Structure formats: C-alpha cells, structure tokens
Structure 1
Amino acid sequence: MKRKVDFENHQFKSDWTDRFCFIVPDHAKSKPTCLICTQTVAVCKTDNLKWHFNTMHAASFNANYPPESDQRKQKIANMITSYKHSVSTISKSTSAQESATAASLQVSWNLAKAKKPFADAELMKSCAVAMVSKVLHHDEKQKKTVVELLKQVPLSANTATRRVEVLAADCFSHLLTDLKKAEAISLAIDSSRDRTDMEQLSVFARFFDGKTFREELLCLLPLTGRTTGEIIFTELTQFFVKNGLYVGKIVSIVTDGAPSMVGQHKGLVSRLSAVNPALLAFHCIIHKSVLCAKLCGKMKETMDTVTRLVNFVRESSSLQHGLFRAMLDEMSAEHKDLLLHNDVCWLTQEFKMFLIDNDMMGYVFFLCDIMSHLNCLNLQLQVEAFQSKVKLLEKDIQGRKLHFPRLREHCEKNNMGEDQVMQDFVSSLAKNFYERFEYIPKLSSDILLFLRQPFSVSADGQWTAEAKKLWPSIDEAALQMEVLEMGTSDVLKAQHTDVGVNDFWTTWFPKLDSETPELLQCSYSQCSPPHTYDRNRLSNAHLDQCLRIVTTEYRPDIRSIASSQCCHFSH
C-alpha cells in the first residue's frame, strides 16, 4: 500500500533548529518554517529539512556561523525573536481586520432586520463617530483610538450588500440542514407583484427541527411570464431538487385559493397531491375572512363614499389633509393622521367630524364596529371562536347593540331604531363564514382535539378512523394501542399539565419515531398549517436575502463568518 504521511505522526525535534535553522510556529496545522527564508516544508522529516538547508543556505550560513559556535546560537536566537515579532504584528493586524469585518457584518444584519437601505450603513458610522467624540471628549487619547477603530469598519453600500449576501447564505445553510432532517414540512405559498410587475412567489415552511417548531422563509421565486399551476409546480420542485430536499415530505399546504393554486387538474395542490396523496390543503384564513366581509348594497355604497373622502383628504388635497391633522391635534385623538383606506382594516371614529352632516353616518358607525371585530380575527386567527361570536353579533344587532358601541351611541343620540340592512349584513356574514370554513370541523376537529388534549380523547373514538383516511399508511389498530399506552403514563400527564401544547409535543416528538410510529404521523398535524403574518411589498434588488434576514429566527455566528472572510480595511 502507498504510504500516507498524514498518518505517520512525525514530530519536530528541538535540535533541528540549531542544525537546519527551522522552527514550528505555535498555531494549528503549522509546518516547519525556515528562519532564514521563511519557506515551509510539507513533511516534518529530517531529510526534508536537511535537503532544504544544504541546498539553499548551508554554504554561506555555516561559513559565517560555524556549527556549535556561540555566534551561531546567538544568530538563531535573534532570528527566532525577529520571526515571532513579525508574526505577532501580522496576527494583530489580522485580528483588527476580523473585528472590523465582524462590526460591518453586525451593522449590515441590523440594517436588513430593520428593513433599511444599505446606504444607511455609512450614516450609522458617522453617527457612531460623532457619539464617541461627544461621550469621550474629556479623554482625547481614548477618543482618538476608538474613532480610528470605527473609521476602519468597512460600511459602504456595496460592502453592506455583500455582507447581507453572506449573512443570508449562512441562515439559508442552517435552514437547509434542519429541513433535510425534518420528517414533515408544511408550506404557505402566496404571490404578489413587485414595483417592476414581476410576480414574486413567497414560500414559507413550517417544520420540526428536533427541538421546536419553526416557521421560516424557504424561498422567494421570481416568476416571469405566465403564472400557471404547472409553472409554479416546476419552479418549486426545481428549487427542492437543487437544494437536496424531497417534495414528498410536504404534508400540507396553504394557498390563497387562486385557480393556479387549487385548480382541480392543473393546480399546484393537485400536482403536489400526486406526489403525496395524503397532502392536506388549506385556504388562507385571512384571505377567506376578507371574502366573507365583502360588502354589498347600501354597505358598499357607504364604504365607497368613505373611501373617496379618505383619499380626497389624504392624497388629493393638501389643504384638507392639513386641516384634518390640525383637528386631530385639537381633539387629542389616538391617531395623528389618516392612513390610506383598506376595506377590512379600519374606519376611524374621528373621521365622523368630516361627515357629521352625512345621512350615512349610521352605516359608517356600524361598519366601524364590525370591522373592528374582523381586525381581531385577522390578528388572532381563531376562526371557530369567531364563528360563535358572529352568531352572538347577529342577535346583538337586533337588540341592545352591546358589541356595536359606536352605532349604539349614534342611535341613542339620534333616536334611531333598528335597521334591517345592518341586520341582514350580519346574518349574511354569519352564513358566509359558516360556508367558507365548513371544512375545518369536518376535516380534523377530533384530531386537533387529540393534539390539544391527548389525554381526554378516547382511543377507540371516531378520530382514529379520520386519521386513517388522512394517512392511509397508518395502522389504525396500532394507533389505538399507542394512544392507550400514552394515556397510562403519569409522567406524560404531569408534563402536559405543566407545559403548553407545543412544548409538550416538541419534548416528546423525538421519541415518537422509534417508540410510537403511528402517533408520529398523527403528530405531523402540528406541522400544518403555517400561519405567518409576513406579507411584504417586494423589490428585485437582493430581495431574497433581505426578506430572509427580516423573517428568520436563525442567528448567524458573525465572528466565525468574519474569520472565514478575506478581511481588509476598505470602504
């Protein structure tokens, strides 16, 4: 067999320094270094060092400094001192450069997290220098040292751009590592057009990383041309293949319900279902709540009128906008300005001052109250609870109006009675919510109950049959046995009482694979669906990196990244 020098463990001998003028530096993986010319040899062996010394230096060095002489020993000692001094100088310079690079990386990370322009990095440096100058004005020496260090930190816009690329790549690397280990992945997919009318497909992933459930931006895919289900499926699968991920791990998907997503034959969901027949598909809850709240008739006329007035005050007339802001200051209103209007976001009570003579004020107050309830739904995403609340609102609008405080106050001041239009709208809202969210209790209410309260569900209940339909590979009999065994564990019961649902399952999740495989598949429901709140206005320049840093929970090791970079002082 061919000899492998790396495994021969050659040791450097102290007498080689005097004989051949070689030393071994004090750092990892160092090689014997010549004190005369600073060249290194690949293998720490007598013959290698002897050959280098005799070939390059022996004639002149031995003539000037004979072996075993005091002059030779003193010369070698001086060369060792000089070498260590030069190495120390280089090491200090390298350390300073790494520190400057680490500072630059940290500033770029903070800028990206705050969604600020890269050009603001130089402004931050100027502010830091100005702050140090003021804070350390009594100590000129220390001030000069700190200011010089700050000025060495590279923070130009181009540098900040490169830093963001490196940081985003580091976070993405950690994400891919965790995703490859995950047993199941759930996706939330949405698309929107950026300022250049490029369709950007944002894909968020929810998965269990071995310790906790994570929700991370998986990718941002620009779609040129048409955005059909086939194109979206192709782009998504190509991304998975390119990054070593398996599409079959996708157990659920949330979309906005567009035909390209949920088309029966050519939609993205149907194509993914062909890969994983047990795939669960959901409609975005927030989007459905918007559809439920679509206005009609008198309500639409009122909302359109308010929208035109808002846009007139906010955009079309600087005079009216200024007068409105002044009025808000006089009233000590909670909000100091008027936002551009969105159907389901808000209606401000203070706006009534501009509509005080309008016959529609009763409808404006009604819409203000009902939209506030929808805002709570969008923030809390508690659909089942809201369906019960809508039924209560349906009764309340016909009676005391406890949940319509603005409308109630307006009716009392103006001696207004019941309005059939408002009652019909709330009834329509309740019906709409029931129809659009009817699938939730039918699909998995019992399974979700098991996940929330695993010790209160019977092992021989109907939910195991539902689980079998969702995951055909499950052995229903084995699942029931596993649930019974789980129910007899006092340790698990105590743990479930002490911690929350997520903490309970994340603590026990790693044990499921080997001990209770059927429960493992059921617990995949914890991975679905994702419910991220990140909806962004998009641009093309380094969009993926910026959005990844803004949304990620990963934290890069900045010092390690800095040490791996080619560090230098530059701007």
Structure 2
Amino acid sequence: MMSGGKKRKVDTEGRQFQEKWTEEFFFILHNAKPICLLCNESILVMKEINIKRHYSTKHATQHSLTGQLRADKIQKLRANIEKQRQMFHKQRTQFDNVVKTSFIVSSKLAKALKPFAEGEFIKECMLEVCGVLCPEKKNEIEKISLSRRTVVRRIEMMANDIKTTLTDRMAGFESFSIALDESTDLSDTAQLAIFIRGIDKEFTVTEELLALQPLKATTTGEDIFNEVQKVCTSFGLLWSKLIGVCTDGAPSMVGLRKGFIGILNEKATEDDLIVLHCIIHQQNLCSKSIRLHNVMNVVVKTINFIRSRGLNHRQFKTFLDEISAEYNDITYYCEVRWMSKGKMLKRFYELRNEIADFMKIKDKPLSELSDPKWICDLAFLVDLTGYLNDLNLKLQKQGQLVNDLYSHLKAFQIKLRLWESQMQSGNSYHFNTLSAYENIAYAQYAEELKLLSEQFSNRFSEHGRMFQFICHSYKM
C-alpha cells in the first residue's frame, strides 16, 4: 500500500518558463501560462515534456522550418499575440473610461441637486461639442449611459460604497460623539441632520455626516431619539461608546424628561454624557444682541419691496444693467442661514446709491439713505457683521478640536474689548467702512461692542472651565 503522505502538488514546485522553448516549440509565457504561438492554446502544467508533446502532436510539420525563417515566423506570431493583447486592453480601458464618466456625471448631478433625467440632456450636449472639437471620440461618447435609471443606479452604488466604507471605519471606534440639528426644508418637512466624530486606537479622527433623516410627523424628543437609534443600529454603533452629544439647545433636544437628552440618558446610556449647546449656534445667538434695529428694519423692508414683487425685481435688475453697476442684484436675508445677514448688509451698502435712485423712481424715496447718522450706523453694522462672519467660518472648519474653537472665541472676545476701548477713545481704525465718515457716534458703537462682548462671556462661561482644562491638557 502507498504511504498516507500529502498529495504532491505540481503548482507548488515553482517551475520556471525557459526561453529555449520559444525557439524549439513555438511557446511563450503569457499571463503566467505557456501559450502556443501557432494555435493559441495554453498548457496547464509548465513542464517541458508537456510542451514538447503538444508541439510534436499538433505541429510536427514545423520541424522543417529552421534558421532565420523559423526566427522570423516566431517574431511575426509573437507580434500578432501582442497586437491582440493591446487591442483587448484598449477595449477594456475604453469601457472603464465610459463607466467612469457615467459615474462622474451622476455624482455632479446629485451634488448640484439636479433632476436625474438631465443626464440624457448632458449627453446630447457632450455629443454636439464632441462633433465639433473631437469627432473621432464621438463613438465613445455615445456609449456613455446617462438615462435616469442608470443615474439613479450609479448614485445608489456610490451611496452604498460610502456607507460600507464608513461602517468599516466606525467598527474600529473606541469612542464617538454626535451632533444633531433639526430644521425645516422648502417642502415643510423637518429634517434631522446627524453628524458623527469618532476616534480609533491609532487616534485617527473621523468626522462625517452620518444621516439626514426626515421627520414627517411630530418632532418630539421621542421622535428624535427613535431616528437616531435607527441610524446608529444600521451602522453598528454601540451606545456604550457614545461620550458626547451636541445639540441646538431646543427643548425637544435638551429637555431633562421628554427631550432627546433625557430619553437618551434613561434608555440607552449608563454614564453621564458631555452635553454641549452647539458653539456655532451660540455664536449666532450672540450676534442677535446687536440693537441697531433702525438699520435692519429699513434694509429688510426695502429688499422685500424690490425682490418680493416680480415687476419691481425685473425693473431693478434692468436698472442696474443700464447704469453698469458693480452688481446685478441684491440678496435676500434668511435668518436660518446665519451669514446671510452680513452678506445682505454689505451688498445693500455697496448699492446704496443705486437703490436710492430706484426707490425715487418708484415714488418710494428712502430718507434714511440721505441721513449721515443712519449711513454711519449701516457702515458700522457692515463691518461688525463681516467680523462675525469671519469668526463663523473659522468655527465651521472641519478637523478642529474643542480647544481650537475655544481659541477662536477667546481671540474674538479680546478683539471686542480692544475695539470697545478704541471706540471710547474716538478711534475706528479697525472698522474700514465706518472710518470713511465723520461725526461718528463713538459712544453708541462702544456700547454695542460692550453688549456683544458681555453676551459672549455669559454664553460661554458655563463650559469655560472645561474648555480651559482641555486646552491645558492638550498643550501638555
């Protein structure tokens, strides 16, 4: 009987292809397999006896071919094999490029919030342009699939790939925190945005938008908790690793009994969570303490008069175009979009002369635009909201730790105190728009800056010690 040893495996013997087999038997190595140049068949086991048997059995007539004639034929056959390989490689590359282009266009449509059916219109445009600039590429453009169904499928594939990647990354989280924000969209549907920040064993920080969940009925703390729990379960997140929650401070979020935080502490977590009122939201609330309502009321009323009526808006844009104004329109003020106030005021100020002329044409003259005191108030507000927008942008940058946000806030508070002291001494150096005027109400503006500084101190004093502790620990 044969011994019970392991069965011999030929593919583990490491046999190497020998160059002499090309000249003797018309074989070459292609994709790690010996291929016959004469019939394109491959040999499974790379042994000389197998290759020789194939040659003697099927191509014995080639024995008479010797010398240079044999070498020329081998070279010609090898060139044919290489040509076929390049042709297949080119076709594969073209196919990959066509599919990649389809994904790129689908991604652009999704990011721009365009209807998916516009993919076919984009393809028509591409064909027209290609027919003029590069007709030889028109056949490749025609192969790109951009139908509505295809675009939807592409976007679903990309979304699933992103979710899979994010899920794999979150599986290694040692701890994580979430940030929640609930707002209403244009269709009056409440949307709950859930952001996550987690850290793994290598101290790699991941910060992503986890989900955007619609709340089609009520928006109570129980509803918010159910949606967050559903999302965390779908991504395999454990409540035991949750260490902090950041919210917008609404009762449905932070209520101790019926709010999201209260329900979360009761049903899901055992340890005390670090609960923060969103720093960016608090900064926006501080900015609302500015009391120059005489400016805001006139500006908002004027802009609504121009933009809320179609005829007035068209006439205003035509008027700006006729006089070659620097801008072709004015912007709306949206309270939900925090930086729109500063942008609206700046655009109104830069178009103040054009707006005054247009309002006279409409028999709605604005006496405020000829009042030096009101213009100074507007200029002061333009400068101050510009600084607040700069601070907001710094706070919105990704990848920052809480000590970075605290540093931005402390630096801005120091600036406020500096500007207040300068205003008290009659110096408006840091307010470029305001400094162009005379008879500035320095005392009034110093009081506004003082009030704004007090708002920042009051709002951020609650967590100030914790922020300072984190900052000192981070530096150590």
The answer, yes or no, to whether TM exceeds 0.5 is: yes
Distance in 2 (CA, whole Å) between partners of 1:96 and 1:362 is: 63
Identity of aligned residues (%): 31
Letter in 1 for 2:242: I
Give 3-state SS (helix, strand or coil) of 1:251's partner. Answer: strand
SS of 1:403's equivalent?
coil
SS in 2 for 1:186: strand
- In structure 2, the partner of 1:434 is 457
| Structure 1 residue 393 displacement after superposition | 2.3
Q: TM-score, normalised by structure 1?
A: 0.58
- Aligned equivalents of 1:265, 1:396: Cα separation in 2: 47
CA RMSD, Structure 1 to Structure 2 (Å)? 4.0
1:540-555 to 2 correspondences below 5 Å? none
Residue number among 183, 188, 191 corresponding to 1:192 in the alignment:
183
Please show how residues 400-479 of structure 1 align to structure 2 within 5 Å: 400-410=427-437, 412=438, 415-420=439-444, 422-451=445-474, 453-454=475-476
Q: Are 2:410 and 1:384 equivalent residues in the alignment?
A: yes
1:360 — aligned with what? 374
* Unmatched tracts of structure 2, length 5 or more: 1-6, 12-29, 33-43, 45-56, 60-80, 336-340, 357-365, 396-407
The residue type equivalent to 2:433 in the other structure is R
> For residue 436 of structure 2, what is the amino acid of its counterpart?
E
Structure 1 unaligned residues grouped into runs of 5+: 1-6, 12-25, 29-43, 45-71, 75-83, 138-142, 455-571
Residues 417, 114 of structure 1: alpha-carbon distance in 2 compared, 3 angstrom cutoff: closer
Match of residue 369, structure 1, among 383, 408, 413: 383
Cα 1:222–1:429 shift into 2, 3 Å: same
Aligned to 2:106: 108
Classify 1:249/1:103 alpha carbon distance in 2 versus 1 (closer, same or farther; 3 Å): same
1:389-421 deviation per Cα after TM superposition (whole angstroms, max 9, x unaligned): 2212222332212223323323x1xx355453x
Q: Is the aligned partner of 1:306 residue 2:295?
A: no
Q: Verify the 8 A CA contact 2:317 2:328 in the aligned structure 1.
A: no
- The 3-state SS of whatever aligns with 1:200 is strand
Task: Report if the CA contact (8 A) 2:173-2:198 is conserved.
Answer: yes
- Is 1:120 aligned to residue 118 of structure 2? yes
Return closer, same or farther for 1:168/1:419 CA change in 2, 3 Å cut-off. same
Which position in structure 2 is the counterpart of 1:277?
271
Aligned AA (1:307): V
Structure 2 residue matching 1:345: 3-state secondary structure = helix
For 1:226, what is the secondary structure of its paired residue?
coil
Give the aligned partner of residue 483 of structure 1: none
Q: Is the 8 A contact 2:184 2:191 kept in 1?
A: yes
Distance in 1 (alpha carbons) for counterparts of 2:440 and 2:314: 32
In structure 2, the CA distance between the partners of 1:130 and 1:388, relative to structure 1 (3 Å rule), is same
- Write out aligned runs for 1:43-58 (5 A): none
TM-score by length of 2: 0.68
CA distance in structure 2 between the partners assigned to 1:253 and 1:433 by the alignment: 22
Judge conservation of contact 1:188–1:203 (CA < 8 Å) in 2: yes
Distance in 1, matches of 2:106 and 2:431, equals: 47
Residue 271 (structure 1) shift: 3.5
Secondary structure of 1:408's counterpart equals: helix
Is the contact made by 1:311 and 1:341 (CA closer than 8 Å) also made in structure 2?
A: no
**Residue deviations 1:30-57 (CA, integer Å, cap 9, x gap):** xxxxxxxxxxxxxx9xxxxxxxxxxxxx
1:117-516 aligned within 5 A? 117-137=115-135, 143=136, 146-208=137-199, 210=202, 212-274=204-266, 275-295=269-289, 299-316=292-309, 318-319=311-312, 322-323=315-316, 326-327=319-320, 330=323, 333=326, 335-342=327-334, 344-346=341-343, 347-348=345-346, 349-353=349-353, 354=356, 356-358=369-371, 360-381=374-395, 382-398=408-424, 399-410=426-437, 412=438, 415-420=439-444, 422-451=445-474, 453-454=475-476
User: Cα–Cα, structure 1 residues 100 and 391, in superposed 2: closer, same or farther, change >3 Å?
Assistant: same
Report the secondary structure of 2:109's partner residue. helix
| Residue type at the aligned position of 2:206 | R
The aligned counterpart of 2:53 is none
Distance in 2 of aligned mates of 1:242 and 1:220: 13
Worse overlay, 209-218 or 219-228: 209-218
Distance 1:448 1:115, change over 3 A: farther
Change (3 A) 1:329 1:283: farther
> Measured at CA, do residues 162 and 9 of structure 1 come closer, stay the same or move farther in structure 2, by a change above 3 Å?
farther
Query: What SS is found at the alignment partner of 1:248?
Result: helix
CA distance in 2, matches of 1:228, 1:173: 30
C-alpha change, 1:392 and 1:331, in structure 2 (3 Å) is farther
Offset from partner CA, 1:238-263 (integer Å, 9 cap, x none) = 22223321122222222111111111
C-alpha distance in 1 between matches for 2:92 and 2:162: 25
CA offset at residue 317 of structure 1? 5.7
Cα drift, residue 10 of structure 1: 10
1:9 is displaced (CA, Å) by 7.4
Higher relative contact order (CA 8 A, sep 6+): 1
Q: Matched residue pairs, number?
A: 380
- How far residue 307 of structure 1 moved from its aligned partner, in angstroms, is 0.3
The separation in 2 between residues aligned to 1:119 and 1:249, in whole angstroms, is 43
1:226 CA displacement: 1.2
Change in Cα spacing, 1:276 to 1:339, as seen in structure 2 (3 Å) is: farther
Distance in 2 of aligned mates of 1:324 and 1:405: 28
